[in-house]
Amino acid sequence: MKSIKLFSSLLLLTFVLACSSSSDSDSAPSCESLADATDAAQAAYLTATPSNQVARCNAYKTALQNEINGCGDEFGDLQNLIDGLNCTASTTTGTLSMNLGSAPLVFDVITVTTSGTTRHIHGEKTNTTYAIDFDVEIGQTGANKINNFELLLFSQTFTPLIPAAFGNNWTTNITVNSATSVVGTFRGELANASQTSAQDLLNGVVNITF
């Protein structure tokens, strides 16, 4: 009788462990489903509007982290995407754009910071490493009022080439420079630090409210 009870107990324990293991396995999402969730979150983020951009950005970041937790990230690609996401709401609106030759370049994330009498304008293009930076002194308008202009492009920093090599001389003009907005234009040739690469910047526009 004791041997029968012992055998029955072992069967019960085996059944419980098997059910527990099966339940754990069934509840854990597969790498494929985690990757699909990341793709869906990315698609939603790329079509975000200003009103839902922060929420969709955070949802995308969460999906990426879930995929890392569930599937790993051998080469760090998913973590790099997380590190590149800026889910902070932008309070600056307007236009910061240019053409590089015939190719348009629009910066859709714009921030303005003020230090002393200097206003620093920074722009980024979502899902790229492209960035623009320049300074204007508060209240100043007219020609050549944009200072410290830099364009980050192809992992290189380009600055105005003065004098121009091909005739597109560096020219800027600020027409509005108030407590809440900056409006102006800029154009000219840019070169990297070693002057081995040049960019022809045309139709530069800053028209922002902050």
Average pLDDT score over residue span 26-55: 84
Please give the pLDDT value at position 6: 36
pLDDT band for position 49 (50/70/90)?
A: low
Average pLDDT score over residue span 119-131: 94
pLDDT tens digits, 151-190: 999 999 999 999 999 999 999 999 999 999 999 999 999 9
pLDDT band for position 20 (50/70/90)?
A: very low
User: Could you give phi then psi for residue 34, rounded to 5 degrees?
Assistant: -65, -40
Q: Quote the mean pLDDT of the chain.
A: 86
Cβ(177)–Cβ(140) below 8 Å: yes
3-state helix, strand, coil in the chain (%, to 5): 30, 40, 30
Please give the pLDDT value at position 86: 75
Rounded percentage of the chain residues whose pLDDT exceeds 70: 85
pLDDT band for position 54 (50/70/90)?
A: confident
Residue-wise over 2-21: b if at least 16 C-beta within 10 A, else e? eeeeeeeeeeeeeeeeeeee
User: Could you give phi then psi for residue 209, rounded to 5 degrees?
Assistant: -125, 135
pTM of the full structure? 0.59
What is the spatial distance between Cα 89 and Cα 56, in angstroms, rounded to a whole number? 11
Average pLDDT score over residue span 54-80: 94
pLDDT tens digits, 80-110: 999 988 787 657 899 999 999 999 999 999 9
With a cut of 50, say whether residue 25 has pLDDT above it.
Answer: no
